[in-house]
């Protein structure tokens, strides 16, 4: 496969190992948790700001690493370690959301013709205000984005997209905000003030 994953700092792996039993037992039984293995880390990035246009160089910020939790060869969970102040790493979450989706998307990308040339680092992009998650296949020569389900119809791509197409559709999507009181998502909304 033309993909590789970045090496994480040793203190990041330590944060995963020291926090997994504290947070993981809310989802998995202690016996099952003890059988799980963690896959190589996937660097996580976050889209910064609400007002576009978004760019590859200025809008994305590294925030941590995600680890697929494996039961045999099946992804059953995802744990995310984030960098906090003063360079400390902390296990922020353990969930089953996106476990199968991430594993399946990486496998599917391996068979896609867009990846036959070159080597790509696999990254996971969070765009929280747009409610979008995507895999970012990064190389020094080119990058491609693949939106993960569930995604709004206009952001679903059958194939990986170059940054210009991905960011233009993301910008057109606009930030989504909850409607007060009912927990539903309203959007897109344009011209919202940046969060303080």
Domains of the chain listed by start with CATH number: 3-178 (3.10.500)
Instruction: Report the percent of the chain where pLDDT is more than 90.
Output: 20
Mean of pLDDT over the chain: 78
Q: Give the pLDDT score at 91.
A: 92
Instruction: Report the percent of the chain where pLDDT is more than 70.
Output: 78
Does residue 33 or residue 177 have the better pLDDT?
Answer: 33
Calpha distance 196→189 (Å, rounded): 17
Q: What is the pTM of this model?
A: 0.79
Is the pLDDT score of 137 beyond 60? Answer: yes
From 76, 66, 80, select the one nearest 100 (Cα to Cα): 76
pLDDT in tens, 45-88: 998 765 566 666 677 889 999 999 999 988 899 999 999 878 88
Residue burial 82-97, b: 16+ Cβ < 10 Å; e: rest:
bbeeeeebbbbebeee
Calpha distance 113→115 (Å, rounded): 5
């Amino acid at each position: 496969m033309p993909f590789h994953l970045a090496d994480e700092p040793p203190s990041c792996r330590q944060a995963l190992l020291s926090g997994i039993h504290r947070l993981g037992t809310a989802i998995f039984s202690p016996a099952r948790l003890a059988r799980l293995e963690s896959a190589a880390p996937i660097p996580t990035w976050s889209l910064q700001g609400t007002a576009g246009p978004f760019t590859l160089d200025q809008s994305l910020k590294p925030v941590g690493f995600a680890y697929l939790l494996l039961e045999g060869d099946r992804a059953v969970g995802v744990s995310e370690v984030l960098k906090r102040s003063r360079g400390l790493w902390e296990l922020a979450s353990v969930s089953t959301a996106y476990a199968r989706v991430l594993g399946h998307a990486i496998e599917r990308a391996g068979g896609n013709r867009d990846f036959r040339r070159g080597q790509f680092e696999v990254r996971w992009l969070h765009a929280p205000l747009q409610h979008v998650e995507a895999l970012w296949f990064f190389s020094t020569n080119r990058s491609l984005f693949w939106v993960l389900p569930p995604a709004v119809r206009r952001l679903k791509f059958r194939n990986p997209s170059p940054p210009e197409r991905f960011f233009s559709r993301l910008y057109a999507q606009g930030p989504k905000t909850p409607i007060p009181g009912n927990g539903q998502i309203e959007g897109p909304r344009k011209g919202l003030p940046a969060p303080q």
